[in-house]
Chains A and B, each alone.
Chain A
């Protein structure tokens, strides 16, 4: 199988088998368990889960606010593991933090609070006022830039805190319930700005929230329970996969819930032209659904010469047979266009879906035996 890493888009956050413990000795208590997640640039990721599930701890680890104890975390192509305190501090300057409490200095005006962030960002002094004013205006606070926090409403203060986090145009923003203290209008302004950052500037936003208004805009929802990521759904992909799966004979009888469950498990992979996706004779490891580009199906003839027997396009699938009959691949599949994008469902998830849905199993087997 091709190394997935080379086919993924630029990764902003990579969390690999991360554990975390509070306390020492007998009072040592594990709060994170073998968490893995990769987040691409430009995603708005919402983290959900019950209180105490480890969302905030994971966020503070990604934000270099705590030292990594076990596992590996990379942000913006830099590993946080084994960094010294000064290096962790330097790393934080690349991140925009938005806290549930605004934590603005009452002694400073709105603009000066924003300037506190710009001081760190290397912004020329002559530019500070213009840039600070610009972002405060975008957040609807152009007429309040010289006001102290005490003279601002709760929503306005939080928007100043958002401006402070975003003014240096960070590539990664970590937010903890940023709209909890906001009214509907303020919340919409803040969320729209965050979404705009992801789509226009490729900024990655990770946000702990229970605000349904944000869930609608999220690209990805990560759910944590008891220190473990229990689900990680890329909504755009899941939607697209469901649309594809509905058109596929094999899946058309699944209920929407069953379809969504399958879609959530599928991972995006990308291939360049002539790259081999599966090879004839090798054991089957995944089921594939083509979302973009074309794939040649090749089989070896009796003369051992490989010949193209079919070309599959977007919406077609392959790789299911080896999983169902538990035999080696009977053909190779090779990327036939410059950019091929597929969604892969690993063998375990495929079989799990098969076993939990009687209709699905029946359908697959019927289809499979019809093919025979």
Chain B
């Protein structure tokens, strides 16, 4: 709500700025809303135009919404880690890329001034196979693990089941995982990487672009299932993340710098915010998510621009003698440009609103189907409106060339 209220205030300021430019245009007082009247003059054409622009807006909004949802889904697990700084291998480029490092580095981190605690997270993405308890079909999954004596996750269900997790071969499963995972509530026994495992409860995370579901276990169960070989006495297993909590009164950045100095160069020390940015950047630029949905958005933009261009070009061509007459009367090109751009803006708004209404409804349905956090956030809506407006204005700029070239002498 706060995001929308802030957005509404921004729109209000934009509208006020727009109004302040309205009373006069090119020195000509405006008593006739020409652009508005032109848009409404042919109701059938208006309906066709609105439908086309609404379709383009809907397409762009869903593409942007899906993109944001996929990125959000990839960030959910990071949001649910209870730490200020994450220590990883320096070559680890995203959360779900297996790239472990030696646990002993955590002890070095412990010794750094300002560190309250440093705890491990184990992870497996390549070897983990989950068997649907109902269909007995197998699927790859994401497995995360931690020491129940050193909790690191913020999921309330995980914190409630620490005691039970200490029992061997137990796990918590993701109740928002894809339906193909099957239903696995407390007491369900199924297989994880061809070993029997008992589900002691569920937490809510949801799938992302790479994982259809997640399983959380204790470190002992994890190492039993995924360690490449049995550990010798006193041997420490490699870990994926070192989660660092900063003591109250210490600046995160200061502690981060101290950790960087204390740890070797093959260890990366990033704040949680930096990890969120890194993951977002990866999804946007490296993973197929960014390009796929950017392409979808671009197609929506181009389709919408072609529709808008066709609408405006036909409209302006039909009224070419009228515009030439305005020039003969003494209207300047700036007036005509503004009138056409204004008309394009009205088309954008008129097409965007029904597109938004359909997108909100569709997002609701699709979020249920895909289990992605698909929602029409203010950012998504504002971005789509800016693109819709830009698409119509760009089309108008192309279409108005004929009007600008119209020779008033030809009217005679």
Which residues from B are CB-within-8-Å of A128?
31
- Beta-carbon contacts under 8 Å, B389-412 to A: 407-409, 411-412
Q: A90-B330, A97-B328, A112-B37 are in contact. Are A119 and B29 (CB under 8 A)?
A: yes
What distance in Å separates the Cβ of B38 from its nearest Cβ neighbour in chain A?
5
Which single member of B34, B41, B319, B327 contacts A116 (CB below 8 Å)? B34
B residues at A contact (CB < 8 Å): 28-32, 34, 37-38, 40-41, 319, 321-322, 324-332, 407-409, 411-412
Chain A positions near chain B (C-beta within 8 angstroms): 56, 59-60, 63, 65-66, 86, 89-93, 97, 99-101, 103-108, 112, 115-120, 122, 125, 128, 164, 176
B411 close to A108 (CB less than 8 A): no
A136 vs chain B, min Cβ distance (A): 15
In the complex the two chains form, what is the Cα distance from A56 to B407 in whole Å?
14
In contact, B322 and A103 (Cβ under 8 angstroms): yes
Taking CB atoms, residues of chain B closer than 8 Å to A101 are: 321, 411
Question: Given that A92-B329, A92-B330, A125-B29 are contacting pairs, would A176 and B412 also be in contact in the complex, using a CB cutoff of 8 Å?
Answer: yes
What are the nearest 6 A-B pairs in CB distance?
A107-B41, A93-B330, A107-B37, A92-B330, A103-B325, A65-B409
Complex Cα–Cα for A105 and B38 (A)? 8
Residue of B nearest to A104 (CB): B322
Instruction: Please give, as numbers and ranges, the residues of chain A lying within 8 Å of B38 by CB-CB distance.
Output: 105, 107
Nearest residue (CB) in B for A174 is: B412
In the bound complex, do residue A107 and residue B330 qualify as a contact, i.e. CB atoms below 8 Å apart? no
Please indicate the chain A residues that have their CB under 8 angstroms from the CB of B32 in the complex: 108, 112, 115-116, 119
Q: Give the residues in chain B near A99, CB-CB below 8 Å.
A: 325, 328, 411-412
* Chain A residues positioned under 8 Å from B41 (CB to CB): 106-107
Q: Considering residues B32, B34, B327, B409, which has the most beta carbons from chain A within 10 angstroms of its beta carbon?
A: B32
Chain B residue with minimal CB distance to A122?
Answer: B29
If A105-B37, A108-B37 touch, whether A120 touches B329 (CB-CB below 8 Å) is yes
| A89-B37 contact in complex given A65-B408, A119-B30, C-beta closer than 8 Å | no
Shortest CB–CB separation between residue A78 and chain B, in angstroms?
14
Q: Which chain B residues border A60 with CB–CB below 8 Å? A: 409, 412
CB B324 to nearest CB in A, in angstroms, measures 8
CA distance A90 to B26 in the complex (A): 12
Interfacial chain B residues near A107, Cβ < 8 Å: 34, 37-38, 40-41
Main secondary structure of the interface of B (DSSP, over half): helix
User: Bound state CA distance, A63 and B327, in angstroms?
Assistant: 12
A92-B330, A176-B412 known; A120 vs B28 contact (CB < 8 Å): yes
A99 and B322 alpha carbons, distance in the complex (Å): 11
**Are A89 and B412 closer than 8 Å at their CB atoms?**
no
Subset of 19 A-B contacts with CB under 8 Å: A65-B407, A86-B332, A89-B327, A92-B330, A93-B329, A99-B328, A99-B411, A100-B412, A104-B322, A105-B38, A107-B34, A115-B32, A116-B32, A119-B28, A119-B30, A119-B32, A120-B28, A120-B331, A164-B329
* Contact pick for A89, options B29, B31, B332, CB 8 Å: B332
Residue of A at shortest CB range from B321? A103
CB distance from A61 to the nearest CB of B (A): 9
- Do A97 and B409 have beta carbons less than 8 Å apart? no
In whole angstroms, what is the CA distance A86 to B269 when docked?
Answer: 64
Within the complex, the shortest CB–CB distance from A86 to chain B, in Å, comes to 7
Contact between chains at A116 and B326 (CB < 8 Å): yes
For B408, what are the chain A residues with a Cβ–Cβ distance below 8 Å? 65, 92
Interchain CB contact under 8 A, B37 and A120: no
CA distance A66 to B32 in the complex (A): 28
The CA of A101 and the CA of B330, in the complex, are separated in Å by 18
Min CB distance, A131 to chain B, in Å?
11
* B residues near A65, Cβ cutoff 8 Å: 328, 407-409, 412
Q: How far is the CB of A247 from chain B (nearest CB, A)?
A: 44
Contacts of A125 in B (CB 8 A): 29, 31
Q: A92-B330, A106-B319, A117-B329 are in contact. List 7 more A-B contacts (CB 8 A).
A: A89-B331, A92-B408, A99-B325, A99-B411, A107-B40, A116-B326, A119-B31
Q: Which residues of B contact A164 (CB under 8 A)?
A: 329
How far is A257 from B408 in the complex, measured between Cα atoms in Å? 41
Residues of chain A contacted by B40 (CB below 8 angstroms):
107
CB neighbours (8 Å) of A63 from chain B are: 328, 412
Q: Chain A residues with Cβ under 8 A from B325's Cβ?
A: 97, 99, 103
Contacts of A120 in B (CB 8 A): 28, 329-331
A117 neighbours in B (Cβ, 8 Å): 329
In angstroms, Cα B322 to Cα A112, docked, is 13
Q: Is the CB of B321 within 8 A of A92?
A: no
* Chain B, Cβ-Cβ closest to A111: B32
Q: Which residue of A lies closest to B23 (CB)?
A: A125
The residue in chain A whose Cβ has the minimal distance to the Cβ of B331 is: A120
Min distance, Cβ B234 to any Cβ of chain A, angstroms: 86
Instruction: Indicate if the CB atoms of B412 and A56 lie closer than 8 Å.
Output: yes
| A102 → chain B closest CB, angstroms | 9
Of B29, B34, B330, B331, chain A has the most CB atoms within 10 Å of the CB of: B330
Query: A118 near B31 (CB under 8 angstroms)?
Result: yes
- B29 contact set on A, CB distance < 8 A: 119, 122, 125
> What's the nearest-Cβ distance from chain A to residue B43, in Å?
11
Interchain CB contact (< 8 A) of B322 among A90, A97, A105:
A105
Give the one of A56, A105, A108 with max B CB within 10 A: A105
Chain B residues closer than 8 Å to A86, beta-carbon distance: 332
Interface centre among B324, B332, B407, B412 (most CB of A within 10 A): B412
A112 to B34, CA, bound (A): 9
CA distance A343 to B187 in the complex (A): 122
Contact of B329 among A66, A97, A100 (CB under 8 A): A97
Residues of chain A within 8 A (CB-CB) of B330 are: 89-93, 120
B350 smallest CB distance to A (angstroms): 15
Per the bound structure, the CA–CA distance linking A161 and B86 in Å amounts to 76
| Distance (whole angstroms) from the CB of A321 to the closest CB of chain B | 49
Complex alpha-carbon distance, A108 and B328, angstroms: 18
Q: State the CA gap A89–B325 with chains docked (Å).
A: 12
Q: Give the residue among A86, A107, A119, A120 with the most B Cβ atoms within 10 A.
A: A107
By a CB distance below 8 angstroms, the chain A residues around B326 are 116
Bound: A66/B327 CA distance, A: 12
